Chain A
């Protein structure tokens, strides 16, 4: 199975400041014939289901604010919130859908400082 790790476990960021979350896979999730990284980022607020933020590692979903961005390739990925807003307080998960089982990272909790 591909093991997904995230760092940090949690972080507290001031309003308007940058938040950076790292996700690492135990093997590459890049599929060269399609030139795609099979890596997705989700946001989960308390009491709500997860919501898609970023797919194919760097494509923002429709309606997601442009302060959210995804980067990386192969085994190392980053989710960046360029200017944290109060509504961004949530747990963020990465998931690989390259190999079955499609594993998730343990999550990173983002709070306001």
Chain B
């Protein structure tokens, strides 16, 4: 069974940092591109970032560019999202998402249950 389990969310003050993790199992992690998608309270879905297999290529949504860094450790089957200079508007559930292929342009096919990030003073 394919599983994605996020962790690392919590309450942080504006300007602070958090590192999210996503533990993957049930598939060949190293062969799949992976994404982060977020959902603010009561709002729709917002794509945040993607990392392809091999980790040599990453893309970001404009509002997080320069503040967030996506990475992966294929030896640990784990995806990360380092979030710095957090803003109130980054408050959301962050979902780890598996893509169905090795490049960024494949459909997303499996979602984790998400981890909640709250940015507030």
The residues of A with any CB-CB pair to B shorter than 8 Å are 38, 40, 42, 44, 48-52, 55-56, 61, 93, 95, 97-98, 100-107
Task: Determine whether the beta carbon of B109 is less than 8 Å from that of A61.
Answer: yes
Is there an interface contact between B110 and A104, defined as CB atoms closer than 8 Å?
Answer: no
Contact of B62 among A44, A101, A105, A107 (CB under 8 A): A101
Do residues A51 and B111 form an inter-chain contact, with CB atoms below 8 A? yes
Shortest CB–CB separation between residue A28 and chain B, in angstroms?
15
The chain B residue with its CB closest to the CB of A56 is B107
Tell me the smallest distance from the CB of B96 to a CB of chain A, in Å: 9
Chain B nearest CB: distance from A90 CB in Å?
Answer: 13
Chain A nearest CB from B31 CB (Å) reads 18
User: Taking A50-B95, A100-B59, A101-B61 as contacts, is the C-beta distance between A106 and B107 under 8 angstroms?
Assistant: no
B-chain residues with CB within 8 Å of residue A49 when the two chains form the complex: 95, 111-114
Give the shortest distance, in Å, between A45 (CB) and chain B (any CB).
12
Which parts of B23-57 form the interface with A (CB within 8 Å)? 35, 37, 44-47, 50
Number of A-B contacts (CB under 8 A): 59
A98: which B residues are within 8 A, CB to CB? 105
18 A-B contact pairs sorted by A residue (CB < 8 Å): A40-B107, A44-B45, A49-B113, A50-B95, A50-B111, A52-B107, A52-B111, A55-B107, A55-B109, A93-B44, A97-B104, A97-B106, A97-B107, A100-B59, A100-B104, A101-B47, A101-B62, A104-B46
Q: Is the interface on chain B under 10, 10 to 19, 20 to 34, or 35 or more residues?
A: 20 to 34
Is B108 part of the binding interface, using a Cβ–Cβ cutoff of 8 Å?
A: yes
**CB nearest to A52 among chain B residues:** B109
The distance from the CB of B80 to the nearest CB of chain A, in whole angstroms, is 19
Bitwise, B79-102 to A at CB < 8 A (1) or not (0) is 000000000000000010000100
Inter-subunit contact B45/A50 (CB<8 Å): yes
